[in-house]
Amino acid sequence: MSGIDTSSNSVNSTATANQASAAGTSLASLGNDYQNFLKLLTIQLQNQDPTQPMDTDKMTQQLVAFTGVEQQILTNNNLESLKSLQQQSATGAAIGYIGHQVEYAGNEVALLPDQSAYFSYTLKDEASSVEVRIYDASGNEVRAVAGPTASGTNKIEWDGKDQNGTELDPGLYTVYVIPKDADGNKMDYDMTVQGYVEGVEVQDDGTYLHVGTNLLPMSKVLSVY
């Protein structure tokens, strides 16, 4: 297949580092409420009718309730600390990916300036024919070639050129593989793509890698080269 071979780093965080935790805010609020409760309790004790003293059982229940809420808030605070440590650990590991090539499941490849794009598809059985079709972000087909038909993993290197040999603009391209058996029936396959990590971004729901123009969840990485 002609043109297809078949054989500045950054870290960005969207989380606000100096933002107070919900548990810390709740604990402060509880402390104020608890102090107000003690003040009211003291006033009640000072002004109670000696012949009708306050119900000590109710006082005990209120104190126990405050203690239970305080313990729950402290537990939440510890969980937030553990989550923060896990995010820091994940970010540290992700930074080590910068400048390396990662492989992940999908069919979108990032084409970088003056570089090739890499992807693979795996067949359980040998195919009679395989079509490889590549589309740009607008849905236009830019390349169509015949792919390897062997069973197992078939690795593809695309030189980033269209059907006429014109070099295409960098960006995200979608690859479709159509393997068929001897009867013309479509066959199942698994596909992975490869790309270079240029940066890391931390969001509230996890750590992401910048692979070309693609924002890849770190959890989807299958291997690193």
Which residues of the chain fall short of a pLDDT of 70?
1-71, 73-74, 76-92
First-to-last alpha carbon distance for the chain, in angstroms, is 25
Note the pLDDT of residue 10.
43
Note the pLDDT of residue 20.
45
Full-model pTM: 0.59
Distances (CA, A) of 159 to 78, 111, 138: 51, 9, 20
Measure the CA–CA gap between 222 and 1, rounded to whole angstroms: 27
Cβ atoms of residues 206 and 199 within 8 Å: no
Note the pLDDT of residue 81.
56
Per residue in 153-181, pLDDT (tens digit) is: 999 999 999 999 999 999 899 999 999 99
Note the pLDDT of residue 212.
75
Classify residue 39 by burial, with Cβ atoms within 10 Å: 0-12, 13-18, 19+: exposed
Note the pLDDT of residue 18.
41
Note the pLDDT of residue 40.
56
Note the pLDDT of residue 169.
93
Note the pLDDT of residue 141.
97
Cβ atoms of residues 135 and 174 within 8 Å: yes
Q: Cα 144 vs. chain centroid, distance in angstroms? A: 32
